[in-house]
Structures are given as C-alpha cells and as structure tokens.
Structure 1
Amino acid sequence: MHTWHWQTWQGLSYLTCSVLEPYSHGFFTQQFSPRPPEELVNVLDAEAQVYRVKQVHGDVVLTPSEVEIIQSQTAGKLETAPPLPDADGLLTDDSDQAVWVCSADCTPVLIADVESGQVAAIHAGWRGTAAEIVPKAIVRLQDQGSQLQNLRIAMGPAIAGDVYQVSTTVAAEIGATLVPSALTHSPESILEALYQLPHSPLLADPQPGRARIDVRQVSVLQLEKMGIQPDQVAIAPYCTYQSPEHFFSYRRNRLKKVQWSGIVSG
C-alpha cells in the first residue's frame, strides 16, 4: 500500500508519495504561491534544470530537448525570452532535469521509471484525460526504452468525483476511452457502459442531464488497459475542491490560481 506524506520546507507544507521513492518530487500546496518552479526546485534539488510548458488542456507531451528546439526557433525573432511551447506534459531525456506542471482542480500526474531514472510530469484535465494524455506519455517513455513494469505513477490532489458535476455529454466524452467503440454511438450508451464497469468512475447525479465523474479513476482504468498494475499507481487522498486550507480550486473560487507539482530525473 502506497503512503502519502506531508513534508515541510521553511514552515510550508507539500506532499510526497512512497510510490515515487527515491526520486525528489513534490505536490505543492497553495501556501507556496506565487513561487514559480524556478524557485520551488530549491526544495527538491537546487542543481536540477527546470522545465515547464504553457498548458492548454491538450494531449501533447514534450521532452526538454524538444522544448529547447521550439524555443530556439522563436528566440531570434524576439527581444524578450522565447515563449513556453504549448503542451500538457514533459518527460525527461537526461539526468538532473526537473519537470513541472500546475493545476487547480485538474490532476497533476508524476511518473518515474525506477530503472532508467527518467521521469514525467503530466497535467491531466478532463480534456487531456479524454484525449488519453497519461497513456500517451507512457508510450513516449516506452519509446525511450521504459518497460511498463518499471513505471511508478502518482496522481496528486485534484477534484474528487463525488463533487465534480459535469454535463452528461462531457462525462461521456471523458469516459468514451474506456468503452468498446461499438457502444460509443451516443452519450447515453457510453454512460450506460461506464456504469457497468468494475470500479466505475461514473457517479449518479440527481440533476437531469448531469453526472459526476472521477477523472483520476478514468486515468487509472486507461492505464489498466495498457497493462499497468494497480500497485504501480497511487492516488492522493485529497480533493482540491474540499480542501481549501491546502489547495486552490478553480471550481470553488473561480480564481486563476494554481499549485505546482514537480519531479527530478535520476
């Protein structure tokens, strides 16, 4: 059973998970705001090179080398620092690289390969989850030589399914990846198939046309389809919406504030 631990740095709290040991990592709380990753990396490994992207709720996962190439293509045309590339995930391609994602209610996913030393950080909102961003990140790790059995995955604090109300159309879009294609001809057929799943991510909602869905559980089931075993995955027992003392929640406050999560390659 994987355990989550509160750590403190200069009196501020952040979370770590035993599944990612011994890699330096952290799911940071709102108390660290507005510190950027360039400062937060000092908590994990001050020598690590920091990488982040401009998150756009998509399914693109880049390596630091790709980030640098994209930025170099625009650097000469600008007087300021080149903009961050659009993406929602990063996977390392060298040692001592710190990759970061930010979130409010979306899921921050940190992945480590216990053999190769490579790691990844993924921002998995509902759109990214519908586009299978976490499985796509794992395919990219496999392309770099990772074996599925060597991966360890921690899904950080995010909005919990029992309070995440969405339209049935959105719920069907998120869950369609778990349903045989023959059953994806309508939102109703997708939802009915989702309800039948063991450990279903779909929860009933009393309001017509609405549903509640556990987005982290959708990612877990996507990974199971790939062959990832349950003991390779840990889910933080914290809901951003229901933990105002620790985490920003866009759905709760409608403020564009975020907390960061990061991990350093070995």
Structure 2
Amino acid sequence: MHTWHWRNWQGMPYLTCSLLEPWQHGFFTHPFWPRSPQELTQVLHPEASVYRLKQVHGNTVLTPQEIDSQLSTGGDDDSAFASADGLVSEKPLQAVWVASADCTPVLIGDVKTGQVSAIHAGWRGTAKKIVPQAIARLKAQGSKLEDLRIAMGPAIAGEVYQVSVDVAVEIGYSIVPHEDEQKIIDALHEIPNSPLLRDPEPGKVRVDVRRVNALQIESLGISGEQIAIAPYCTYQTPEHFFSYRREQQKKVQWSGIVSFN
C-alpha cells in the first residue's frame, strides 16, 4: 500500500504521498491559509515558476504556455488567472497548483518524463472526466500510461457526501454510460467497492467521488497500483482541513507538485 506522510513547515502540517516521492509536492492543510501558491512554492522548491487557475468546475486542462498566452494582460485579481481546472507542466521546475475545500485535489507525475499535473476534480469536473482529460494531455506530450503515478488528496468522503439521485446519475454516467437513469444507479451499486452508498433520505444517495475518479482512471488501462487515495476526509477532519459543506466558507487548501527533468 502507498503510504502518506505528514511533513512540517514552520510548525504547520502538510501531507505527501510515497507514490509521488520523486517530486516535490504537498497537500497543504488549513493553517497555511491564506498563503498563495507563490508563497507555498517556497516550501517545495523556491526556484520553480508558479502556475494556478481560476477554477470553474469544468474539464479544461491547460499548460503553462497556454496560460501565459491567455494572460498577456497584467493585474493580480481573479481576471489575472486563466479559467480551467487542470494544469499539465511542459518543462522542468514548473509548480502547478489547485485549490479545494471538499473537491478532490489530484496530483499526477510521470516517472520517465518528470512532467506533472494538478487537477481540481469536484463532482462536476468528475462527471466531465477531467482526470482522463489531463491524462490525455500528458500522453499527447509523450507520457506512457504505465509511467504515471496518481495521488488523490483529502476530500469529502463518500459516507458523508449526500447528493441528489440526479447528481449521482450525472457522475455515474462517466463510468456506466446508459440512457436509463435507474440502470446507471443499479450498475453503480453492483460495482465492487461501489462508489454509491445508500442514504436514509428519499431521493438522496451518497457518492464517493474519489472512487469514481479511480474507476475512470482504471478504465483507461492504468493499474490500481499506480493510484493512491488519501485516508482523510475534509468534512470529518476539521483539525486539518476546511470543508465548504461543514463551514459554508470560501476557504481552501492548496495542493501542488513541481516537475523535474
């Protein structure tokens, strides 16, 4: 099994995953708020150039070059960031960052090319297959599936993530595409270690979004050995993580990874 380690920076904890050991990376906790990715990159690799996005719950994945060409305008408010939910590095020493508060932060590294990706996979992005999208971009840049290492950070766990059946159908369609909504729900329940859990409230179910992402990734031909899922739930671990569902506050934790050559 892949192991997760707590690290410390100036007395504040952040998480790393053994699967991503070749890369400087971290899933940061709420004590780091409101530091920016610019500041957090100092923790990982002070020389790296920093890339982040204005996240919009879609499935667009950009490279630093695409971001730079979109942002020839200056400024430092949200309009200074390209709208997307995934980043894929192109060169060494590029730090790519995503923010999350219950959504899944996904960090990917390629052991051969050293390139990396950071993805914000909320339920909407997951329904739109943002992680397979990022993997497709890595492949277009020369990655082979067997060289990828994928870690999903702290996010809301399935046992506490209540959604409407409609939302579950939309997410489920990404792994069991079927026209009939009930058939999607039934098929999800039949999957071993199902991402769908029952909920006592009528018209509601609970969904493990990280498990759905893992199933999407495995359906590409990537083995379960190449995937690690953090054993932490943002909603149930208030001492370390913000949870939008718990606090209804627009606060986030950042997750980032730095490419190498």
Q: What interval of TM-score do these two structures reach, taking the shorter chain for normalisation?
A: over 0.9
Pick from 204, 210, 214 the counterpart of residue 216 of structure 1. 210
Shift of the alpha carbon at 1:165? 0.2
Amino acid of the residue matched to residue 115 of structure 1? K
Amino acid of the residue matched to residue 170 of structure 1? V
Shift of the alpha carbon at 1:200? 1.2
Shift of the alpha carbon at 1:137? 0.3
Q: Distance in 2 between matches of 1:108 and 1:22?
A: 19
**For 1:72-83, what aligned pairs fall within 5 Å after superposition?**
72=72, 75=73, 80-81=75-76, 83=80
Shift of the alpha carbon at 1:188? 1.7
Structure 2 residue 241 is matched with structure 1 residue 244: no
* Corresponding residue for residue 138 of structure 2: 141
Pick from 114, 117, 130 the counterpart of residue 117 of structure 1. 114
Q: Distance in 1 between matches of 2:200 and 2:143?
A: 44
RMSD: 0.9
Shift of the alpha carbon at 1:189? 1.7
Query: Where does structure 2 lack aligned partners over 5 or more consecutive residues?
Result: none
**For 1:179-198, what aligned pairs fall within 5 Å after superposition?**
179=176, 181=177, 184-198=178-192
The 4+ residue runs of structure 1 with deviation greater than 3 A are none
Output the TM-score relative to the length of structure 1.
0.95
Q: Distance in 1 between matches of 2:43 and 2:181?
A: 45
Whether the 8 Å CA contact 1:168–1:187 is kept in 2: the answer is no
Between 189-198 and 16-25, the greater mean CA deviation after superposition:
189-198
* Corresponding residue for residue 7 of structure 2: 7
Shift of the alpha carbon at 1:93? 0.3
Shift of the alpha carbon at 1:197? 1.2
Q: Distance in 2 between matches of 1:101 and 1:54?
A: 9
Tell me the secondary structure at the aligned position of residue 68 of structure 1: helix
Q: Distance in 2 between matches of 1:199 and 1:221?
A: 10
Shift of the alpha carbon at 1:198? 1.8
Shift of the alpha carbon at 1:195? 0.6
Amino acid of the residue matched to residue 162 of structure 2? Q
Pick from 222, 241, 254 the counterpart of residue 228 of structure 1. 222
* Corresponding residue for residue 132 of structure 1: 129
**For 1:1-266, what aligned pairs fall within 5 Å after superposition?**
1-72=1-72, 75=73, 80-81=75-76, 83-179=80-176, 181=177, 184-266=178-260
Shift of the alpha carbon at 1:13? 0.2
Q: Distance in 2 between matches of 1:22 and 1:197?
A: 33
Shift of the alpha carbon at 1:202? 0.4
* Aligned length, in residue pairs: 258
Tell me the secondary structure at the aligned position of residue 178 of structure 1: coil
Amino acid of the residue matched to residue 119 of structure 2? I
Query: Where does structure 1 lack aligned partners over 5 or more consecutive residues?
Result: none
